[in-house]
Amino acid sequence: MAEYNKSEAELEAVFQQKIDSEQKIEPKDWMPAAYRKNLIRQMSQHAHSEIIGMQPEGNWITRAPSLRRKTVLLSKVQDEGGHGLYLYSATETLGIARSELIAALQSGQAKYASIFNYPAQTWGDMGAIGWLVDGAAIVNQVSLQRTSYGPYSRGMVRICKEESFHQRQGYVIMMELAKGTPAQKQMAQDSLNRFYWPSLMMFGPHDSESAHSAKSMKWKIKRETNDDLRQKFIDQTVPQIAYLGLEHPDKDLVWNEEKGQHDSGEIDWDEFYAVINGNGHSNRQRIQHHVKAHEEGAWVRDAMSAYQQKKLQRKVNAETAA
């Protein structure tokens, strides 16, 4: 078509013009190779996070303290599996195979949110994860509903509709514990203490340190910077902690009247990079478990293709008989 007559520079100008005027890029549109690559990295990382994120919570399904809580948790973990599917499918529209994405996850070449390398040790952690981890993910995902790539944007709209339940069920767990016995309240505080800082790290490094930020903003893959999104989360979480009657884990947190937002303490970036680089508590376990689950599911995939073959054969037999 007409595009073949245009030079790379002209194509890129048209592309940037679409982005600048808030039009979405769709799978069959021309796009710069680096845009495609950047999207594949970010979207697959997001998909992997949904799937690996099933593990810390999945770990508690059999130990949930009541049948109702078990069904709620199971339902949440099922949703996360669905989110992984939406995102892998959207990534595949960029011309990469699902098997390549999974291979990159399993070899450690692709990353996922490092929050999932922290272990879920208590029932309180099911509260803190839903409330804080899904809460932080929602802040990011609400912003990504406006991302420039159409399939990613539409996936985010669908996911955001489902996420609200995740955060609320987590907060309800926290409310129950915070209003419970002193030991239960202590459990809630302990979970808050362990998950607060890693939740802030979910927004990534400071804007000044972020390798992918500038290009991502120009292409509107990202719509708000890491630090702006993190600030939103910090501010929204303050009254939520106060309502629970728990102590805020950040001792340097103060309201800044002039800015109309909270000033906060510094994140332990050494911990952030250690976990990202594979030295968190559960990194190896998460990937090993993924590989194991995939291998142990081989017989199901084999059975499905055998059944498919059999159905085809039956059809052929019926046709030759007729």
Partner 1 sequence: MSLEKLELFEVFLRSKRGLDHKHAGSLHAEDKEQALEYARDVYTRRSEGVSIWVVKSSDICASQEDDSESFFDPSDDKPYRHATYYDIPKEVGAM
Q: CA of 186: how far to CAs of 13, 111, 189, 193, 246, in Å?
A: 58, 33, 5, 10, 9
Q: Which of 166, 222, 232, 290 binds Fe ion (CB under 5 A)?
A: 166
* Closer by beta carbon to partner 1, 75 or else 288: 75
Give the bridge partners for 256, in sequence order: 261
Residue 102 CB, shortest distance to Fe ion, in Å, is 18
x/- letters, 46..75, toward Fe ion (CB under 5 A): ----x-------------------------
Return the amino acid letter for 8: E
Q: Which of 97, 243, 252, 263 binds partner 1 (CB under 8 A)?
A: 243
Q: Which does 248 bind (CB under 5 to 8 A by kind): Fe ion, partner 1, none?
A: none
Residue 133 CB, shortest distance to Fe ion, in Å, is 8
Backbone angles phi, psi at 262, to 5 degrees: -90, 140
Tell me: does residue 80 bind Fe ion (CB under 5 A).
yes
x/- letters, 4..43, toward partner 1 (CB under 8 A): --------------x----xx-x-----------------
Tell me: does residue 236 bind partner 1 (CB under 8 A).
yes
C-alpha span between 99 and 305 (Å, rounded)? 17
Would you state the structure tokens that stand for residue 321, as one six-digit string? 């008989």
Q: Which of 18, 69, 83, 194 binds Fe ion (CB under 5 A)?
A: 83
C-alpha span between 129 and 191 (Å, rounded)? 9
Contact residues: partner 1, CB under 8 A = 18, 23-24, 26, 68, 71-72, 75, 79, 135, 150, 153-154, 164-165, 167-169, 171-172, 236, 239-240, 243
